[in-house]
Structure 1
């Protein structure tokens, strides 16, 4: 039996690529889950593949967790759609939108049709290049060097020189009070002279 090898790249991050091998009888949901196993993203969000032309123009939609409007229009569902039914070209392209709330767009292209390796489980990650971008709202995990410095206390105001040196500030206030007292004394003398 043949296998499809898809090259998947981020639309906005050309240097991040995943190549995934899948069986023609497998579904778009299998490809969706394999992609997110390779990226570490949560697969349980509304997403869609679109049959695409050579210019990545979106055509027929194959959806996961579609909204009511899409269901009423009769959109194809990932879990029911075999890959082989949507492959018309040996270099078939799909445009993939992950997470409609905060979308990432991907280009998915069939790059090879190979012979299945006996005993291998599919889908299978064939190649991984580059680090995937963090999703918006993802907490920042401290790096090793930051973790080593954890014992050191970081004083934002002091380190950024926005802090107030209390001694200087108090000295400045004392000077202002003395100047103000001197002015009041001068004003009272002026009034006495008239």
Structure 2
């Protein structure tokens, strides 16, 4: 199965991107597709969150394991296939891409289709607008770090 996700950014200059990705690919594959499409620095932290219908954060899918010695299970992008957590249209995700300013994109599953054997996934299939800068540092003390 192939998922079609719509990624939307809010702010002064709204934009969107549509991505098709196989349900058997990982959240890390999706992360890289977003980073490549938006020409972002892949070394920056990012996380996906499952979200409810009010866009409230739920389960976090981390870029890598940053857990302490707690017994809380950590879900890692590279180890988790999309189909393990996503199964129905209208499911929502948040993609936190700027940890300094707590900025995220809103992602919704808009379609589930059959895989096209002649196509490579993931693929950005629609674009509109210009994405925001990856990092915005408004606190002058942070720039001294």
1:81 aligns with 2:109: no
Secondary structure in structure 2 of the residue aligned to 1:68: coil
Structure 1 residues 118, 81: CA separation in 2 closer, same or farther (over 3 Å shift)?
Answer: same
Q: How does 1:142-181 map to 2 (within 5 A)?
A: none
RMSD across aligned C-alpha pairs, in angstroms?
Answer: 2.2
Aligned to 2:36: 37
TM normalised by structure 1 equals 0.64
The alignment status of 1:106 with 2:105, answered yes or no, reads: yes
Which of the pair has the greater relative contact order for Cα pairs under 8 Å at 6+ separation?
A: 2
Q: Which has the higher helix share?
A: 1
Tell me if structure 1 keeps the 8 A contact 2:49–2:57: yes
User: Are 2:125 and 1:126 equivalent residues in the alignment?
Assistant: yes
Q: How many residues align?
A: 137
Deviations 1:1-51, CA, capped at 9 Å, x for gaps: x20000001143572101000000000000010011111111222211111
Distance 2:41 2:88 in 1: 30
Higher mean C-alpha displacement, 62-71 vs 29-38: 62-71
In our comparison, the structure showing a higher alpha carbon Rg is 1
Q: Is the 8 A contact 1:3 1:21 kept in 2?
A: yes
Deviation at 1:104, TM superposition (A): 2.6
Greater strand content: 2
TM-score, reference length from structure 2: 0.83
